[in-house]
Amino acid sequence: MNDKNFRVSGRNTIIHKNKKIDLLLVNGDHPVIIISHTGIGLYKGVIPEKRIDAKRAHQELIDVSKPEVFGQVKTLVFIEALDNKEYKLDYSKINTENFIKVHQENYI
């Protein structure tokens, strides 16, 4: 049984599937991003060390560099969130207002 709360599409897109679970996106040494059913932002909390700890906090940790996701650290990642928007994370523009941008409204 596949119990993932996200789906990978193409070479750099992640699709959020379950509104009860927040996704924590880890991409190398870059800031951690939280994806919830209400939107997306920088995660300021403690990153769970074990999968069971994340599950208790209603979170799932996604490491972009793992082979089952993308297999390498990415500069550009697209997120299809449950708030009906597609976001673009441009890791070359960290600490600017262009780091997290709405790429497409109403993608569904």
pTM of the model: 0.87
The gap between the terminal CA atoms of the chain, to the nearest Å, is 26
Whether the pLDDT of residue 4 is over 90: the answer is no
Q: Report pLDDT for 73.
A: 93
Residues 39-95: pLDDT tens digits? Answer: 899 999 999 989 899 999 999 999 999 998 999 999 999 999 988 899 999 999 998
Query: How would DSSP label each residue in the chain?
Result: ----SEEEETTTEEEE--TTSEEEEE-TTSPPEEEETTEEEE--SPPPSSHHHHHHTTEEEEETTSTTTTSS--SEEEEE-TTSEEEEEEGGGTTSTTSEEEEEE---
Q: Report pLDDT for 1.
A: 43
Encode 7-39: b = buried (16+ Cβ within 10 Å), e = exposed. eeeeebebebeeeebbbbbbbeebbebbbbeee
